Chain A
Amino acid sequence: MINNVPFFAVMLLIAIGLYTILFKRNLIKIAMGIVIVEAGVNLFLITLGYREGGLAPIYTHLPSGVEIPGGLVLPVPQALTLTSIVIGVAILALILSFVVRIYRHYETLDSRNIRRLKE
């Protein structure tokens, strides 16, 4: 049961993030919601690679007597998570620049008032 705590954390993060994107009005809070969902998915990816009692998958100064590759955690999910974090940074930079521009034009950050594109 204790090994499943990260998966519960993933579900909680994704639920909180989705709630924030769908129901909050402030544009910055919507951006935060996307970051929270992304954090949840990254946590899920890393948790998949864990092996019980494993060491970090690095050969430099590896303690002797460790079985390779059985005693190490999986390195591939770590690479996937890194790529996802980089993409998340790029998206966050883009969203925040858009929010700055929208504030200049509309003078408000409430998404109910930013509605020049109607039906």
Chain B
Amino acid sequence: MPDEGLSPVVRVIAAMLFPFILIFSLYVILHGHLTPGGGFQGGAIGASAVVMLIVAYGARWVESKAGEESVSVLESLGGLMFVVTGLLGFILAATFLSNFLVGEALFGEIPAFGSNPGILNTGGTLPLLNIAVGLKVIGGLASVVLIMALGSRGEAA
């Protein structure tokens, strides 16, 4: 049943693994401009952490801890952050979605051309856009699976 969850062994291991998977997903989101990954990929990993909890503990338990509403608010905030970053692009600099953080303090270093050891402080607005997309994807995919699991309550076969 999508409702009751699985045995205590599975629950304990899922609870232990959950923070590590979340940290890995945040790592993939934040390093999107340096290594393979980025917003959608990291967001999918984060959503699969939540899905692992839904399978291990049951949809009703997850709903009582972080309800469908707060997940949907997370999704809207992610989308809002993306469009606001784009609009700031043309208020502060030239055009929509232009990179206005190049040379500034936050994410603003300009690395040398060619191979480099992966400096996190580069990229301009790209890490911000990655974070926005990552939040939206975590919220969106987790809420899709949560609502489907809640909705199929009682359909045993």
A–B proximity contact (CB within 8 A): yes
| A binding-site residues for B, Cβ under 8 Å | 56, 58-64, 66, 68, 82, 85-86, 89, 93, 96-97, 100
B7 contact set on A, CB distance < 8 A: none
Q: How far is the CB of B63 from chain A (nearest CB, A)?
A: 17
CB distance from A81 to the nearest CB of B (A): 11
Closest to A90 in B: B140
B144 sits at the interface (CB 8 A): yes
Smallest beta-carbon distance B137→chain A, Å: 8
Q: Report which of B40, B116, B141, B148 forms a contact with A60, defined as CB distance below 8 A.
A: B116
Given that A56-B36, A86-B40 are known contacts, is A61 also in contact with B152, CB under 8 Å in the complex? no
Asked if A68 and B114 sit within 8 Å, CB to CB, the answer is yes
Contact of A58 among B35, B117, B148, B151 (CB under 8 A): B35
CA–CA, A82 to B39, complex, Å?
11
**Residues of chain A with a CB closer than 8 A to B36's CB:** 56, 58
Contacts of A93 in B (CB 8 A): 144
How far, in whole Å, are A93 and B151 apart by their CA atoms in the complex? 14
